[in-house]
């Protein structure tokens, strides 16, 4: 056994015993200071408490309306799909993520019909939502849509 190989472990550190007299170093106020909320039993500060001042969150002006059921779609144009996935028969969010047209296959996807002309191949598209122009272009080219 080599003494230089012995490691230090925090498991042997003694826990702080409070309220056990002046000799312990943690007697009298037991590390809680003098007077006030922090000294009292059972009372906790809430997150954002500013010592009785107006809390920061109440100072910030609040504007507008945030709808509770708002859905954030990942938007993909047919033009980009044709550039990167031309010739594939079945286009799903998994394929779109592989070619980095979307970031996350589990989040909702919307396909937009921004393309010049028509699609040059037939494919089945699977997405959460389609614009009316995308739906028309895909169906005109002989493709199918799955929501």
Token pair in block for residue 10: 């925090």
pLDDT in tens, 47-92: 888 888 999 989 999 999 989 999 999 999 999 999 999 888 999 9
CB 143 within 8 A of CB 113: no
> What is the domain partition of the chain in residue ranges?
17-63, 74-146
- Architecture per CATH, 74-146: Ribosomal Protein L15; Chain: K; domain 2 (3.100)
- 113 vs 1, which has greater pLDDT? 113
- Position 1 scores a pLDDT of 67
| Three-state secondary structure call for residue 11 | helix
- What tens digit of pLDDT does each residue of 2-49 get? 888 887 776 777 788 888 999 888 989 988 888 888 888 887 778 888
Name the phi and psi angles at 110, rounded to 5: -125, 135
Residue in 129, 73, 61, 123 with CA at minimum distance from that of residue 102: 73
């Amino acid at each position: 056994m080599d003494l230089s190989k012995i490691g230090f472990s925090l498991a042997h550190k003694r826990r702080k015993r409070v309220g056990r007299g002046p000799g312990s170093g943690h007697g009298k106020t037991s590390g809680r200071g003098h007077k006030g909320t922090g000294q009292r039993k059972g009372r906790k500060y809430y997150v954002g408490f500013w010592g009785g001042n107006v809390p920061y969150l109440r100072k910030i002006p609040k504007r507008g309306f945030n709808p509770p059921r708002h859905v954030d779609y990942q938007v993909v144009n047919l033009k980009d799909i044709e550039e990167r996935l031309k010739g594939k028969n079945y286009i799903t969010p998994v394929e779109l993520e592989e070619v980095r047209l979307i970031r996350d296959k589990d989040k909702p996807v919307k396909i937009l019909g921004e393309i010049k002309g028509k699609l040059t191949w037939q494919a089945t598209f699977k997405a959460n939502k389609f614009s009316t122009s995308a739906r028309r272009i895909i169906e005109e080219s002989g493709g199918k849509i799955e929501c």
